[in-house]
């Protein structure tokens, strides 16, 4: 299987491995971290199953989410993860998601990791357009996307029944030609 390795100033984005489990579980079990995510807090066992389920995944399969580790180069520890999905019918369209551990937020890591992922997808994977859907109350994610000049394209009003109530979402997007600028 071809392994991913995106290297930025402070980070390595790579495949998840089972030795990431303790760090992965630390933030995936925090309700503040999972508040706006499509999953709830996870047990250690569920985290281990999730990491193992990623092992055989290969980038490039239409319609499949694949989760990558974000490692701090200096400490060699997992500090977060990011997900990429290629569109089911056109693999030049990608969707992304990003999580940074509560222990490491607000240090510019998400922005640095996302910039590395955009370079990789646009420059080497022939991706034309990248989107992210975020909860309209998720200020951190919204600011992250705005900080990299993603365009807000959509505001869906109470389009999702989410964690016990109707939620609204924004869609953000970036085109390859916009990123090149």
Residues that bind ligand COA in the complex, under the rule CB under 6 A: 33, 36-37, 97-100, 105-111, 134, 138-141, 143-144, 147
Instruction: Evaluate whether 41 touches 96 at the Cβ level (below 8 Å).
Output: no
Question: At its nearest, how many Å lie between ligand COA and the CB of residue 129?
Answer: 17
Residues 6+ positions from 37 with CB-CB distance below 8 Å: 97, 99
Q: Which is nearer to ligand COA, 3 or 161 (CB)?
A: 161
Length of the chain: 181
According to DSSP, the β-strands at 65-72 and 93-100 are unpaired
Q: Which is nearer to ligand COA, 19 or 147 (CB)?
A: 147
Instruction: Evaluate whether 104 touches 92 at the Cβ level (below 8 Å).
Output: no
Question: At its nearest, how many Å lie between ligand COA and the CB of residue 172?
Answer: 11
Q: Is 56 helix (H, G, I), strand (E, B) or coil?
A: coil
**What is the biggest distance separating any 2 CA atoms in the chain, rounded to whole angstroms?**
44
Q: Which is nearer to ligand COA, 148 or 175 (CB)?
A: 148
Question: At its nearest, how many Å lie between ligand COA and the CB of residue 98?
Answer: 4
Buried b (16+ CB within 10 A) or exposed e, 115-141: bbbbebbbeeeebebbbbbbbbebeeb
Q: Which is nearer to ligand COA, 109 or 170 (CB)?
A: 109
Q: Which is nearer to ligand COA, 6 or 126 (CB)?
A: 6
Question: At its nearest, how many Å lie between ligand COA and the CB of residue 133?
Answer: 8
Question: At its nearest, how many Å lie between ligand COA and the CB of residue 113?
Answer: 8
């Amino acid at each position: 299987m071809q392994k991913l390795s995106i290297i930025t100033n402070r980070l390595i984005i790579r495949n998840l491995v089972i030795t990431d489990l303790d760090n992965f579980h630390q933030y995936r079990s925090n309700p503040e971290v999972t508040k706006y995510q499509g999953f709830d807090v996870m047990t250690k066992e569920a985290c281990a199953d999730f990491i193992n389920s990623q092992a055989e995944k290969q980038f490039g399969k239409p319609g499949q989410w694949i989760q990558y580790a974000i490692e701090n180069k200096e400490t060699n520890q997992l500090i977060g993860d990011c997900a990429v999905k290629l569109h089911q019918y056109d693999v030049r369209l990608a969707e992304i998601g990003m999580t940074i551990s509560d222990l490491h937020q607000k240090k510019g890591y998400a922005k640095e990791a996302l910039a590395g992922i955009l370079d990789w997808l646009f420059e080497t994977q022939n991706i034309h357009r990248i989107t992210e859907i975020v909860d309209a109350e998720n200020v951190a994610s919204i600011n992250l996307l705005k900080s990299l000049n993603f365009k807000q394209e959509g505001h869906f009003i109470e389009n999702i029944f989410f964690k016990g109530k109707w939620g609204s979402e924004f869609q953000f997007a970036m085109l390859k030609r916009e990123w090149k600028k």
